Amino acid sequence: MTSGSTSLLAGRAAIVTGAAQGIGLAIATTLASHGASVVIADINREAAEGAAAQLTESGRTASSIATDVTDQQQMANAVQHCIDTHGRLDAFVNNAGVARDATMLKMTLEQFRTVIDIHLQGCWLGTRAAAAAMRESGTPGSIINISSTSGKTGLFGQTNYSAAKAGMVGLTKSAAKELAKYGIRVNVIQPGLVRTALTESLPQHIWDQKLSEVPLGRAGEPSEIGDVVLFLASDLSSYMTGSVLEVHGGRFM
Residues annotated as catalytic (active site), given as ranges: 161
Residues 6 or more apart whose CB falls under 8 angstroms from that of 88 comprise 12, 13, 82, 137, 139
Residues 6 or more apart whose CB falls under 8 angstroms from that of 184 comprise 131, 134, 135, 139, 140, 141, 142, 143
- Torsional sign, CA 54, 55, 60, 66: negative
* Closest alpha carbon to 222 in 52, 59, 1: 1
- Torsional sign, CA 76, 81, 82, 84: positive
First-to-last CA distance in the chain?
A: 25
- Quick check: helix, strand or coil at residue 94? strand
63 backbone dihedrals φ, ψ, rounded to 5°: -145, 175
| Helix/strand/coil percent split, the chain, to 5 | 50, 15, 35
User: What single letter denotes the amino acid at residue 45?
Assistant: R
What's CA 37's distance to the chain center, in Å?
Answer: 16
